[in-house]
Amino acid sequence: MSFLSFLTWRRMAAASLALAFGANANIAAAADDDNKYDHHLVDKIVVEGVPLGRTIEELAQPTAVLGGDELLKRQAASIGETLAHELGVSSTYFGPVASRPVIRGQSGERIRVLSNGLDALDASALSEDHAVSVDSMLAEHIEIIRGPATLLYGSGAAGGLVNVVGNRILDSSLEAPFGGRVTLGTDSATGQQAGAGELAFGTAAIGFHLDYFRRDTDDIEIPGFAESELLRAMEEEEEGAEEDEAFGVVENTSSEAEGGAVAITLTGNNGYLGVSLSNYDNQYGIPGHHDHEEEGGAEEEEEPVRVDLDQSRVDLEGGYRFASIGELQVKLAQNDYEHLELEGDEIGTRFNAEGTDFRAEFRHQPFGALEGAIGLQYKDIDFEALGEEAFVPASTTQQTSLFFFEEWQPGDLWTLQGSARLEKQTIDAPSLPKYDDDTLGASIGLIRSLGGSHSVALNYALTERHPNATELYADGAHVAVQRIERGSVILGDGILDKETSSNVDLTLRGENSRIEWTVTAFLNDIDDYILLAPTAVVEDELQVFEYTQTDARLYGFEAEARIELLDLTAGHLHTRLFTDYVYGEDEGTGDYLPRITPLRYGIALHFTRDPFEATIEATLHSDQDNIAANELPTDSYTLVGAELSYAFEQPDIFVFLRGTNLTDEDARQHTSPLKDLVPLPGRSLQLGLRYDF
């Protein structure tokens, strides 16, 4: 339990409300002063995950930011589900809690999840049933970089990047001596009850921050059977009789999560220095286990598997502005992570990770039209797994990197951006061959104004990715996903080669008084792509999968347009059209890559009459029959949702009511390894409130 665990959910909610409504409403918080009704505002948010403090429109690589009221309305029990509706993003959906982002069809170790620019330092990328230890409930905004972010954050970000940005450590003085925020939310389909509170207080020289959140969920409600119609038909044909199947509810999907932090920041005229102590606990069930054991001639259902995750973390951050040469920013995170997999009251498997992530960036003063930053990053992770599902041996992974980012603006119409990274990685595992190699990557981006508010951006990146410990040394049953995994070293194939990828992004943007639009096309060619491939071998009723290498190609597009339909004093009405698509192919065999996101497109109508907003939206997810071996196709489905919200000025309260999956569709996410066992939640009503004071 966390160091704030003496607070229960009910006490925290009651205390937060009492504090909120008893506070002086005239005291402004040191929070975002955003215009809730300007849908263009998100493009103006500074992206903290890239140097030089650029906005979305000023970056050549496709980037998105989810923040403010939209983040509150999209809030879910996991990072994956919070972001699953963003362009180019899906999720692994191993239940509502264990859900990581999938970006352009890539997931796991290829998608880096950061907390304020530093690694989450957990074991979530190891397996789809492992939850991310970064929660979005206390986030100010979330940044998404679509495509490789390896040049800024290492070879592990080969597919994309998610950066969860909070305000525990301040980079400037408090705007008011006292302020804070209270957030409450419910969700009928998951039984969620969630609440969070933040306080910031201090002087111009010193600032204090306290925060706490808690979220409880029940087993999720679904519109029909837990198993898909296709899987039930296959089982009936094989077994000759129909079994009793879960209906209406997915068992063992409940959860209890809580976390909090205390932080202190010293600020001065030329810089700041802050430290944050935080803790995160999450206890949740792993769905999809329907195996039975025979004992004494009778079948007995296995004990449900639950996870008890605990992470304690220390973050240190500081910055100093040198008047004549530039600005230095330093960040350091250290953590102690423990993940227990419980089978009833027994500990089946224990995962431990102790990690350090250090990052220093120096932003130099502009030299004419040239502006940029150079940086150093060091990461050290000690990992071990003990118990029945310890399919990966203990290992120590170290990375040391040098990188730079430069921008040149020769005139008002042109912007040229370039970056490069040199990274050395070593992996030590007892009694196994050591991995020790370097990667080198570089990119160049061009932004060209076409006049007015129209522009074109082209980004080309040539990157390399190291193999990780799992891909090299895995050897054993990975029960959560019902397979046995074997790494290249265990198979006798030696150390895997580095992946080398060539990536192109082309983005067109335009805006006038009636329409705003963005279209992005991308191509990613990868040599020596590391693939977990199925074999014909079955051991202990589990299929054997092996880590091999091939050449792969992924390509697709993302597009959206906002069109003004009505702009009168009586109100404002616009429509949003959006779509995205990914195609993934194994060029060595011509087969499709597994679990690739299908075509998705939709339409939304948004009405605003200050301070009231209303939205209705429909998103069609096409069927996916471009499937890999031993993968079942996924039927199409349409998700219909609606939102109502109202913003009060005095006191500063924002409330919303949101309905999702209003037609109660049997919706299955093709990117989920449990798609044929666990559908998405059924019809749901969500109610939320945020109070800034």
Q: Please state the length of the chain.
A: 693
Render pLDDT for 31-81 as a digit per residue (tens, 0 to 9): 343 433 344 455 567 788 888 888 888 888 999 999 999 999 999 999 999
When pLDDT is averaged across residues 89-105 and rounded to a whole number, the result is 95
Residue 43 domain-assigned?
A: yes
How far is 551 from 525, CA to CA, in rounded Å? Answer: 8
Residue 282 domain-assigned?
A: yes
Which position has the higher pLDDT, 580 or 150? 580
Render pLDDT for 478-533 as a digit per residue (tens, 0 to 9): 877 788 999 999 999 999 999 999 999 999 999 988 999 999 999 999 999 999 98
What confidence score (pLDDT) does residue 8 get? Answer: 36
Residue 151 domain-assigned?
A: yes
Please say if the pLDDT value at position 27 is more than 50: no
Domain, as residue range, for 431? 9-692
* % pLDDT > 90, the chain: 78
Please say if the pLDDT value at position 424 is more than 60: yes
Dihedral (C-alpha) 391, 396, 397, 400: value to the nearest 10 degrees?
180
What confidence score (pLDDT) does residue 249 get? Answer: 96
The neighbour count for residue 391, using CB atoms within 10 Å, is: 22
Closest CA to 261 of 77, 113, 136, 138: 138
Residue 3 domain-assigned?
A: no
Render pLDDT for 332-349 as a digit per residue (tens, 0 to 9): 999 999 999 998 888 989
Residue 303 domain-assigned?
A: yes
The torsion region of residue 160 among left (phi > 0), alpha (psi -120 to 50) and beta comes to left
**Dihedral over Cα of 78, 81, 87, 90: its sign:** positive
What confidence score (pLDDT) does residue 244 get? Answer: 64
Q: Are 86 and 144 in contact (CB under 8 A)?
A: yes
When pLDDT is averaged across residues 534-550 and rounded to a whole number, the result is 91
Q: What are phi and psi of 585, to 5 degrees?
A: -135, 140
Q: Indicate the range of 98-107, 121-130, 199-208 predicted with least confidence.
A: 121-130
**Dihedral over Cα of 647, 648, 654, 656: its sign:** negative
Q: How confident is the model at residue 160 (pLDDT cuts 50, 70, 90)?
A: very high
What confidence score (pLDDT) does residue 3 get? Answer: 36
* % pLDDT > 70, the chain: 91
The number of distinct structural domains making up the chain is 1
Instruction: For residue 626, give both structure tokens.
Output: 């471009």
Q: Report pTM.
A: 0.91
Instruction: For residue 533, give both structure tokens.
Output: 């491939």
Please say if the pLDDT value at position 295 is more than 70: no
Closest CA to 383 of 355, 425, 353, 356: 353
Please say if the pLDDT value at position 548 is more than 60: yes
What confidence score (pLDDT) does residue 241 get? Answer: 56
Amino acid identity of residue 412, one-letter, is: D
Q: Are 644 and 621 in contact (CB under 8 A)?
A: no
Kindly list the distances between the CA atom of residue 101 and the CA atoms of 9, 144, 327, 504, 655, in Å, as whole numbers in the listed order: 28, 10, 33, 21, 27
What confidence score (pLDDT) does residue 365 get? Answer: 93
| DSSP tag of 479 | G
Please say if the pLDDT value at position 541 is more than 90: no
Write the CATH number for 112: 2.40.170.20
What confidence score (pLDDT) does residue 268 get? Answer: 93
Please say if the pLDDT value at position 293 is more than 60: no
The H or E element that residue 73 is part of is helix 68-74
Residue 4 domain-assigned?
A: no
| DSSP tag of 592 | B
How far is 433 from 358, CA to CA, in rounded Å? Answer: 27
Q: What is the mean pLDDT of the chain?
A: 90
Render pLDDT for 653-690 as a digit per residue (tens, 0 to 9): 999 999 999 999 999 999 999 999 999 999 999 999 99
When pLDDT is averaged across residues 257-274 and rounded to a whole number, the result is 96
Peptide bond preceding 611 in cis form (omega within 30 of 0):
yes
When pLDDT is averaged across residues 224-253 and rounded to a whole number, the result is 85
Residue 2 domain-assigned?
A: no
Q: How confident is the model at residue 300 (pLDDT cuts 50, 70, 90)?
A: low
How far is 105 from 376, CA to CA, in rounded Å? Answer: 30
Render pLDDT for 187-199 as a digit per residue (tens, 0 to 9): 999 999 999 999 9
Residue 102 domain-assigned?
A: yes
Render pLDDT for 345-404 as a digit per residue (tens, 0 to 9): 889 899 999 999 999 999 999 999 999 999 999 999 999 999 877 899 999 999 999 999
Q: What are phi and psi of 589, to 5 degrees?
A: -115, -15
